[in-house]
Structure 1
Amino acid sequence: MKTDGLRAGVAFAFALIASGCTGYLETESVPAAQQPVEDPPPPLPEPTPPTPEADPPPPPLPAAPIEAAIASAQLLEDCPDGGSLIPSPPPAAEAPAEPAQPAAQSTRKMAVDSGVALGDSARGFAPMCTQSYMQLSLRAPADAIAQRVRVVQVKVIAQSGASSIITARQPQRWSDSVYVPWDESIAPGESIQSSYKLSAPDWTTLGGGNEAATYGLPLTLEVELEIGGVVRTLRSPQIAREFPARVVT
């Protein structure tokens, strides 16, 4: 009997051991194959900040205004070009007083100084021609910039409102007591007395259909003058058409 009980106990013990091993085998998992470790991706490059736009250059300083005025004008005739470089008298502000001269010499001097085309008139073969002209006075302040001057338009206006457009040509400037060709430029701090020859207006229009009525008729000269790209309008005091000088020999 004891042997049977011992056998039963041993069998029970083996059963427990077998059941325990089987549970261990059933519950123990086989480790999975280890995945290789990958290197992390490289960091993305930081975006380049946009290049700031350069500040625009400051606007140029406005040029100091140049003073301009019609110093004088004479409406007589439109003479052929050529000859003396003195198309008009000295500037009104600079005209010197001259001593008395013999009549013949004075007449010839007047002809040259006023822009008269002598031709054969000095010998009495043809009438003189007295050139129409205008004189402009220009002054640039010391803080101005060098600029160009251009006559855009010249208009003769009668009191009635009738008008006629004329042309200005051969710009000259007063220098060392004589008129010399001028390139219509003016430098800072410079003062210029200039002269332009003028063509003849339509006298019949200005006289209301009667050319003879224009002698002594009050007229105004209106000049559109461009200085440094800016056009301004100048007006003269009243002037009158004069009778042309005639010398009888």
Structure 2
Amino acid sequence: MATQDLFDINDPDDVWLEPLSSGASWIHGFLVAHVDQVMGDIAQVVAQSPYRHLVTPGGKRMSVAMTNCGSEGWVSDRAGYRYQAIDPLTTQPWPAMPVRLLALAQQAAADSGYQGFAPSVCLINHYVPGARMGLHQDKDESNLTAPIVSFSLGLPATFIWGGWQRTGKTQRIMLRHGDAVVWGGEDRLRFHGVAPLHEGKHAVTGRARVNITFRQTR
């Protein structure tokens, strides 16, 4: 895809839910009507806790840049994957989770059949062309009964939806600007990832994709 291509902003009235499996939903266009406000919230978080490229326990630099907001943040380094209340980059508490982001996450969860979702972590991932996320499970949370809520903004990305084994069969889903994916229940520990982001330019995010993931750790 050429860099001069500019993706259109989706129609804010075209919102619909597509089941992916018994415990997972894909809500097309969920966030489109709120994009301007959400992008403002993200900018405020990044101003306090900038994006950074974490290092895996094995010493590899992650291709996706990330930051957090909420009472805890997800971090990775040579010591392992974990949640902690202090941003290791700023040595300050993570920024508070914006009220609007929390409300949208709770609405997406409720629309998918998960009432009472109370996320403590909002992980913000910044993808540029070539960045990817390998197949993994979200299992660092002590509470594995609460769902995961994920929002996509900007360039489209291929979401890889797998099974309960890393080597199992996978499904590829093209997530577009404003889409949400929610998974929990028996699907909570499915492997998932993101294929390398293709080159392009989006009207809202430029040459990037922003992914916002909400997790309830306790």
* TM-score of the aligned structures, taking structure 2 as reference length: 0.30
Higher Cα radius of gyration: 1
Question: Quick check: which one's helix share is greater?
Answer: 1
* TM-score (ref. length: structure 1): 0.27
The higher-RCO structure (CA 8 Å, 6+ apart) is 2
